[in-house]
Amino acid sequence: MSKLHAFTVHYIKRARNHRWRCSEITFWCIDEQLCNQWIQALKELLDSQKSRPKQLLVYINPYGGKRQGKRIYEQKVAPLFNLASISADVVITEHANHAKDNLFEVNIYKYDGIVCVGGDGMFSEVMHGLIGRIQKDSGIDQNNPKTPLAQCSIRIGIIPAGSTDCICYATVGIIDPETSALHIIVGDCQPLDVSSIHHNNTFLKYSVSLLGYGFYGDILKDSEKKRWMGPMRYDFSGFKTFLSHQYYEGTVSFQPAKGTVGSPRDKESCRTGCHICRQTKQLEEQQKNYGFEHKEVEDEWKVIKGKFLAINAVNMSCACPRSPKGLSPAAHLADGSADLILVRKCSRFNFLRYLVRHTNQDDQFDFPFVDVYRVKRFQFTSKHLEDNESDIKDVGKKRFGQFCSDHPACCCNLANSTWNCDGETLDSSAVEVRVRCQLVKLFARGIEIYKDEAAYNSSSNELLS
Ligand SMILES: Nc1ncnc2c1ncn2[C@@H]1O[C@H](COP(=O)(O)OP(=O)(O)OP(=O)(O)O)[C@@H](O)[C@H]1O
Ligand SMILES: CCCCCCCCCCCCC/C=C/[C@@H](O)[C@H](CO)NC(=O)CCCCC
Ligand SMILES: [Ca+2]
């Protein structure tokens, strides 16, 4: 164009179902000086947005989900990062824990964010690396369950390429690598609660999505042997675990969340700019100002002994394509509490009715065998362990305990399940769990509310929030 001058603006367009797309528009102009003024003004505007990342550290799990992590990053994400002038150091992991170990070695402080390409397990690995590194650098011992932890200001980005991808779904609203890359580029920030899990003053793991004993623990244990099946392994093991209908005996004790405003039975869900999460943060700030924040309150423990098909503690809704509302639709991403769901022994048919409600609009807590509590701390000990502990003085009974667990036909059910901690197993069945309010931050903004979700199409960009 001999006499025309032009510049192209790349921008984000909202599409259906929380999807974001990159679009472009080219402006033409006959006045070269005016054209340059526009380019300069736009560049300055972009430079003034300090929350946008400039340098990222990216970990790709090439074996997560359908093994598409590397392709997804190269084809869908890297071109967008280039367009946004983001430089990325990329590590393709060679084994489990590669990313976690690496985060203890590199200079993490030169990065504006850490990105993981993979599923919930890969996110968990990166989160453990980052939290662990920050505690190490702050001289904090993770093994002491009472110690307040140092918050992580370096944000984590998730490019979904796993099997469940529930952390991405519950914080963005869709599993779509391009949408997630765009949330990273604009520098979104979503704080996230993290539960720390200890056993006998030993740190076990952190959890952000599901910490599940019984049904979800058994699915995970069985599915790990079938990793070769990809995401299908969960359906196969899910069906098998449902048929086995195993229940577990134990004691759950918990401290109900006092400082939070919402309840697990609320009709409203956590959305972008959630006022419940905001109020919690304000309350915490106030407590900090009064010097209360590190004082543990020892009152009001509720104790429930029983036979459970599932014990699920969720820090967020756990919405995912398999369960679009999640296991606790009104759970909050950053309110400093978890929803503790106790599913007591019931018939196979009733348990199926409960599971079906994970997938439809009906209230999954409206069953006499399901209880839900919003908690800040909880503990669980299986009957098997309780008996073993008291049997140290009673050798005869101990022999009987072993006899029962060795013989499933015996009427005493002393079987143990495993904890499913964000898709990884825990080594101990007895756990002590504390929710750490907003310990980490994601490149996300929670699920946006569309003014008119049904009528939404690519020509309308209006949002409520
Ligand atoms: N190169 C690698 N080889 C083997 N395992 C790896 C490698 N890189 C990471 N991992 C491990 O693979 C596990 C599973 O990965 P990921 O979460 O990405 O996929 P997934 O299990 O299919 O998905 P989801 O967790 O969403 O169900 C993680 O716990 C991670 O530690
Ligand atoms: C008859 C219809 C019954 C349908 C029941 C569907 C229930 C689906 C609920 C899914 C809840 C996912 C909670 C998230 C757990 C993740 O941290 C974890 C790691 O990715 N995934 C699983 O454990 C994988 C768990 C997969 C379970 C199938
Ligand atoms: Ca929460």
Structure tokens at 284: 């915490």
Q: Are residues 154 and 260 in the same domain?
A: no
How far is 188 from 194, CA to CA, in rounded Å? Answer: 19
Tens of pLDDT, residues 364-387? 999 999 999 999 999 999 987 777
Q: Given 31, 47, 120, 427, which residue is catalytic?
A: 120
Sign of CA dihedral 209, 213, 215, 216: positive
Q: Are residues 19 and 141 in the same domain?
A: yes
What pLDDT shows up at residue 353? 98
User: pLDDT-based confidence at 343, cuts 50/70/90?
Assistant: very high
Structure tokens at 174: 């869709």
Q: Are residues 147 and 212 in the same domain?
A: no
Q: Are residues 146 and 75 in the same domain?
A: yes
User: pLDDT-based confidence at 297, cuts 50/70/90?
Assistant: low
Structure tokens at 356: 């079906």
Does any domain span residue 287?
Answer: no
Beta carbons within 10 angstroms of residue 312's beta carbon: 24
Pocket residues for ligand 2 (CB within 6 Å)? 119-120, 164, 166, 209-210, 216, 219-220, 234, 238, 318, 320, 322-323, 327, 355-356, 358-359, 420, 422-423
Name the closest-CA residue to atom 23, ligand 2. 423
Q: Are residues 208 and 135 in the same domain?
A: no
Does any domain span residue 278?
Answer: no
**60, 61, 97: residue to mutate for ligand 1 pocket, most atoms within 8 A of CB:** 61
Q: Are residues 337 and 431 in the same domain?
A: yes
Q: Are residues 47 and 185 in the same domain?
A: yes
Name the closest-CA residue to atom 15, ligand 2. 210
CB of 129 sitting under 6 A from ligand 1: no
Q: Are residues 390 and 458 in the same domain?
A: no
Q: Are residues 65 and 206 in the same domain?
A: no
Does any domain span residue 420?
Answer: yes
What pLDDT shows up at residue 296? 60
Residue 360: give its domain's CATH number: 2.60.200.40
The CA 110 to ligand 2 mean position distance, Å, reads: 36
CB of 64 sitting under 6 A from ligand 1: yes
Q: Are residues 230 and 261 in the same domain?
A: yes
What pLDDT shows up at residue 261? 75
The CA 103 to ligand 1 mean position distance, Å, reads: 16
* Residue 129: domain span: 1-189+443-465
Tens of pLDDT, residues 211-250? 999 999 999 999 999 989 989 999 999 999 999 999 999 9
Instruction: Determine whether 120 is an active site residue.
Output: yes
Name the closest-CA residue to atom 28, ligand 1. 121
CB of 95 sitting under 6 A from ligand 1: yes
How far is 7 from 3, CA to CA, in rounded Å? Answer: 14
Does any domain span residue 61?
Answer: yes
User: What ipTM goes with this model?
Assistant: 0.96
**166, 215, 235: residue to mutate for ligand 2 pocket, most atoms within 8 A of CB:** 166
CB of 118 sitting under 6 A from ligand 1: yes
412: pLDDT strictly greater than 90: no
Tens of pLDDT, residues 52-95? 999 999 999 999 999 999 999 999 999 999 999 999 999 999 99
What pLDDT shows up at residue 404? 44
> Among 330, 316, 334, which Cα is nearest to 277's?
334
Three-state SS sequence of 155-192 = EEEEEECCCCCHHHHHHHCCCCHHHHHHHHHCCCCEEE
Does any domain span residue 261?
Answer: yes
Single pTM value for the model: 0.91
Residue 82: give its domain's CATH number: 3.40.50.10330
Number of domains making up the chain = 2
Name the closest-CA residue to atom 21, ligand 2. 423
Q: Are residues 240 and 359 in the same domain?
A: yes
Does any domain span residue 282?
Answer: no
Q: Are residues 145 and 255 in the same domain?
A: no
Does any domain span residue 232?
Answer: yes
Could you give the count of Cα atoms lying within 13 Å of 144 in the half-sphere of its Cβ?
Answer: 8
